[in-house]
Structure 1
Amino acid sequence: MSRRDGALDLLKWLALLSMVFDHLRYVGFSVDWLYVPGRLAFPWFCLAMAANLARSGASAAPWRYLGWLLLFSAVSEIPYRLFIPDPSTLNVMPTLVLGLLVARCWQTPTLEARCLAVAALLLAALFSSKLMFGFFGVLLPLAMLLVFRRPLYMALLPGLVCVAANQWRVLYGAAWLGDGVAFWGLVACLIAPWLGLMLLRHASRFHPPAMRRWAYGLYPAHFLILLAVRQIAA
């Protein structure tokens, strides 16, 4: 258990790259097609969270993880609002905070944990419009955890949750009218958990640089870097 999981680090790096691709759409280039690979970022971050929960079990590690997420939720909000024009939601970190609470408390069969999970779900339901990926985004880490050691076809469950988290009505309507980006975006949402699980199970021979606590800073930093690129390109 002390050995570094190279496949998990690879998943995190690919999720980060996918997120950067997605946000390049806001730099000013005509790259709307990057929306499709961008749909992989959030489910892969949720899968990485589920992998850490499955590995750590009942240890205190997930609570330290929660503390770092809370810290960078606050740190990231200003860079996020500087870069994203007129954002309608908070940055993605609060969604991950609530998702971690729900998934972690599901692992702990105590009354206190169940009450905390219900409180997190209630917050997600009440403030769904302010959370990036909404209520279903909060459910996605738990959905990933439930199928983590299951047969690969079970990845359809978190795939459907991922579709629901990505404004599926808008995507479905646009896809029905023949919008290729919307269609492939829906496909990416649906298969992202399956692709991620395949990578975790079959890419252990890869050993990219380890993503440790410093990696939390990459989230607010990438907003500032892309903001500088937009200013230069303007």
Structure 2
Amino acid sequence: MHCQPEHKHQVYIWLKNAHTCLICDEATHASHCVCNVCETELPWLMEQCAICALPLPMEGLICGPCLKKPSAFKQVIAPWTYSFPIDSLISRFKHQARWPLGHMLARLLGQHLQHRFDNSGLTRPDCLLPVPMARKRLRERGFNQALMIARWLSQDLDIAVDEHLLLRPQDTVAQQALDAKSRQRNLLTAFALATSADVTGRHFALVDDVLTTGATAHSLARLLINAGARRVDVYCLARTPKPGA
């Protein structure tokens, strides 16, 4: 006896049908909804600082700020520079709640990370940690973009994500409006660890959308290292170039 009804019509299979590229609106068969042309023309980050991923003229160098004052994190992994159209895509994801754009970028970041795991010896972390958002800004925006990126990466890379280990008990001034020194002072007491946090000997990767001065990442990494973490990396969608570059 057949328990399923007989169906002779063509079935719509999502993965075998053309989608629309989220950048140029042309048809594409890519599952992450960006056509090959647009993906190739994205501002891929090539020559960069071996620690903070700051764009540099040559590969394999360490930038001046990292030489003068080493960061608490080990390495930043970012596929793109924060320039057009990546800056526009991230802004629309964050400020207009265009979640499909964020998902597309997170999928591409996941592919970039998997390639690094497989081919360049990048060590897989034990856990992903989204950068926590100030409560006031979270209420205004309605979601934490870093948390969403971390969840998507967790699914694609099969790496655990801990949404509650890092806390932001104090609301601080928005970092975008501050210079590098003010950003560091602004974050001195901004973050904390959950009381039940187990960090000793573990390798973490902080997840955020954009790395600018690295002050937030450094503050969080220092907090984790001081609590006994073995290593802290940073995964983000884009890295801003040096001002005036």
TM beyond 0.5: no
Which structure is larger by alpha-carbon Rg, 1 or 2? 2
Q: TM-score, normalised by structure 1?
A: 0.31
Higher helix share goes to which structure? 1
Higher strand share goes to which structure? 2
Higher relative contact order (CA 8 A, sep 6+): 1
